[in-house]
Amino acid sequence: MGVRGDAIVQFDWSVGQIMETLDKLGLAENTLIILSSDNGPVVDDGYDDKAEELLNGHSPAGPWRGNKYSAFEGGTAVPAIVRWPKKIKENRESDVLMSQIDWISSLGALINARLPKGSAPDSYNRIGNLLGTDNADRPWVIELASNHVLSVRTKDWKYIEPNDDPTTFMKAEKIETGNLNVPQLYEMEKVSEQENVAEKYPEKVFELQIILRQVRNKRIKM
């Protein structure tokens, strides 16, 4: 991927340097490391680095629809790699639903820290999810697209609220925004988010709309 690929190699090298230093200091066994991302991928974000031409068939968002900026999972789902050899004994993958917002409460609970009153009001303690000792999913996650459209994501469903923004496709970035003026509901077993089943399951749309309304009115935590 040209310059973009070089940046990825540099990042990989930097992580390696951190790991090597922890090993030298004898700290690697009992150090918690979390590696994640801030949003989904974008190939053409205004940089003249020929990343798009050099993709060679690679799909940075994997099976997800959309990319950075989008209301679809390609814009909001991110990887998370957790390493702590003293506490996490086996290598495994997890598809548990949680949010980065939960990290402050989770890590605070891990070190018995008392968070300042009113801080991190939407953060839940999900330390068991991070350490692999609890496979229970978060009841829901609120997702935010670049145009401030909100979605409610549960393990099995995703609701994207309707909006009046007519931009359904960002031409320069070649990204689907996820904007529609009608409710969208997707079955997340089908990760591609291709079939809007809002009319088929109106009761599920209503259920998720209630969650979003209560979050907006601050009647429940996000």
What are the structural domain ranges in the chain? 32-216
Class of residue 191 by CB neighbours under 10 A (exposed 0-12, middle 13-18, buried 19+): middle
State the Cα–Cα distance between residues 151 and 185, nearest whole angstrom. Answer: 10
Judge whether residue 112 has pLDDT over 90: yes
Name the pTM for this structure.
0.89
- Which CATH superfamily, name and number, covers 32-216? Alkaline Phosphatase, subunit A (3.40.720.10)
pLDDT in tens, 9-49: 999 999 999 999 999 999 999 999 999 999 998 888 777 78
pLDDT tens readout for residues 58-93: 888 889 999 999 999 999 999 999 999 999 988 889
